[in-house]
Structure 1
Amino acid sequence: MPTSDSLDSDALFELEPAVTQSAGFAELARRPLRELVAADWAEALAPVEGKLRDVLAFLGREVAEGHEVLPPPSNVLRAFGQPLADVRVLIVGQDPYPTPGHAVGLSFAVDGATRPIPRSLANIYKELEADLGLPPRVHGDLRGWAEQGVLLLNRVLSVRAGEAGSHRNKGWEAITAAAISAVADRVTADGSPAPLVAILWGRDAGTVLPLLGSTPVISSAHPSPLSASRGFFGSRPFSHANTLLREQGGGTVDWELPPLP
């Protein structure tokens, strides 16, 4: 490892992103919860606030030790940016894409400029076309779904670049379990369950079933190229979700994404 005397200006410039990332995660660990997530999410996640701060501090240490962490600090809690009260559909993923530049803090989504899109997302688009006749998009920006109350939540919210699953069992699972329970436990003014449909793709997603109570669930194989042909294709999750939402008085989701982000 070079000493400080051997670091020229170019090398220092190369180190800036890692230094910034480390400081960013450490800063998140110190900030009030209400500055990190939507106000009603802050209330729902208060019981696991200490665990959240521990995980964020761990991410700071990961970067300080030379690991690139995805997504960046600005997006690691992005799934909780939309109000909890607005959630109508829950789509559970595993952990973020480990390819640098792909993870954006929403399960299955990527930055709108990413080409080509991940194969799992391409398969999701194929099923969307078969289900609702909506044309596949070349981009992976799923903000249009999130803004309509589709919670795109990974079970684990960070990963080392190039190392899929590297941040499992580091504390995220308790936080996302609390989030899923909070979504499922909401009630309306008359005490009835708030409209909600859960879409669970693959065995990992299926592990959250005990947290969902009486929530209607649509489950199938994962859209990964390794499993999509074993039950994901033909499952019609998007039309089924809208049917279940209508039955609960929750309206419908417009699943069509813009041609370009």
Structure 2
Amino acid sequence: MLIPENVHPSWDEFLTNDRKEEVNVIFDEVKQDFTPSDPKLVLRFLERDLNEVKVIWLGQDPYPIEGKASGRAFEDATIKDWTDKVIGKSIKNVIRSIYRMENNIENYKDVKTYKKIQKEIKNGTFNIKPPKEWFNSLENQGVLFLNVYFTCQVGRGKAGTHRDEWKDFSSKLLKYIDSNNPNIIWFLWGNPSRKIGDIMQFNNIYESRHPAYQNKASGTDILDFEGFRGTKTMINWLGE
């Protein structure tokens, strides 16, 4: 069963009996070998109060490598510390973008490499919470880390393998979120998320290239992303 036990009442109108049956059908279709490996994590967002959500990071689907997917978009469950040797490009560049905002760095070229920022994290100069605490803090402050597709097959090159199964459910979900909390600010990173934003016509959006693909010449690079600056009065992006 993919629906959590502690669903928040703010989702009750969405989770009709037909919708629950839809999830059961999807589970029957994908239950052979998927990520996140723990079914309780797949739809974990349903435990959050939709009325308290301020910002949504809209991802695509979970990490296909076993053990990495946590049920939160962009979170790699294997990362224990920001100084770990193996950290994906996406989250590295997100941290660099937050670093730029927190330090009021005007020029793109002056943003430090992630390796240099790691040193500042280690010596306490850049005081950001450790990864798991950081994601927990942002979530508790009202950030929802939402994927559009909630499972995929396990293995390298398997990203996107369950999109057909989830696309109808996700379309209804996004419409429900937008109609019940139209004040949410959406972070749309990469063309797939931006296309969804165009279709849904969300009220409040910040856009950029996907953080994995840094390119100043694009004009929409994650290091130039204004979303963190635009929401810093409502979210402490270093973690509380």
Regarding TM over 0.5, the answer is yes
> In the TM superposition, what is the alpha-carbon distance from 1:157 to its structure 2 partner?
0.7
1:56-75 aligned within 5 A: 56-60=27-31, 62=32, 67-75=33-41
Secondary structure of the residue aligned to 1:164 is coil
2:33 corresponds to 1:51: no
Partner of residue 231, structure 2: 241
Q: Could you tell me which of 151, 173, 184 is aligned with 2:178? A: 184
> In the TM superposition, what is the alpha-carbon distance from 1:34 to its structure 2 partner?
7.2
> In the TM superposition, what is the alpha-carbon distance from 1:38 to its structure 2 partner?
1.9
Partner of residue 12, structure 1: none
Secondary structure of the residue aligned to 2:222 is coil
Identity of aligned residues (%): 22
Partner of residue 246, structure 1: none
1:201-212 aligned within 5 A: 201-210=189-198, 212=200
TM-score (norm 2): 0.75
RCO comparison, higher one (Cα < 8 Å, 6+): 2
TM-score (norm 1): 0.70
Q: Is the 8 A contact 1:181 1:211 kept in 2?
A: no
Unmatched runs of 5 consecutive residues or more in structure 2: 104-125
Aligned residues: 207
Partner of residue 52, structure 2: 86
Between the aligned partners of 2:7 and 2:215, the Cα distance in structure 1 is 33
Between the aligned partners of 2:215 and 2:7, the Cα distance in structure 1 is 33
> In the TM superposition, what is the alpha-carbon distance from 1:185 to its structure 2 partner?
1.0
2:87 corresponds to 1:121: no
**Deviates most, 195-204 or 125-134:** 125-134
> In the TM superposition, what is the alpha-carbon distance from 1:79 to its structure 2 partner?
2.0
Which of the two has higher C-alpha Rg? 1
Q: Is the 8 A contact 2:41 2:71 kept in 1?
A: yes
> In the TM superposition, what is the alpha-carbon distance from 1:49 to its structure 2 partner?
2.7
Secondary structure of the residue aligned to 1:255 is coil
1:242-257 aligned within 5 A: 242=232, 252-257=234-239
Between the aligned partners of 2:53 and 2:5, the Cα distance in structure 1 is 20
Q: Is the 8 A contact 2:94 2:211 kept in 1?
A: yes
Between the aligned partners of 1:228 and 1:53, the Cα distance in structure 2 is 42
Which deviations, in whole Å up to 9, do the C-alpha atoms of 1:127-179 show, x marking residues without a partner? 11111236566635512111122111111111112122111211x12222222
Q: Please list every run of at least 4 consecutive aligned residues from structure 1 whose deviation after the TM superposition is greater than 4 angstroms.
A: 134-138
Unmatched runs of 5 consecutive residues or more in structure 1: 1-27, 188-192, 243-250
> In the TM superposition, what is the alpha-carbon distance from 1:228 to its structure 2 partner?
5.3
Structure 2 CA distance for partners of 1:240 and 1:53, relative to 1, 3 Å: same
2:155 corresponds to 1:173: no
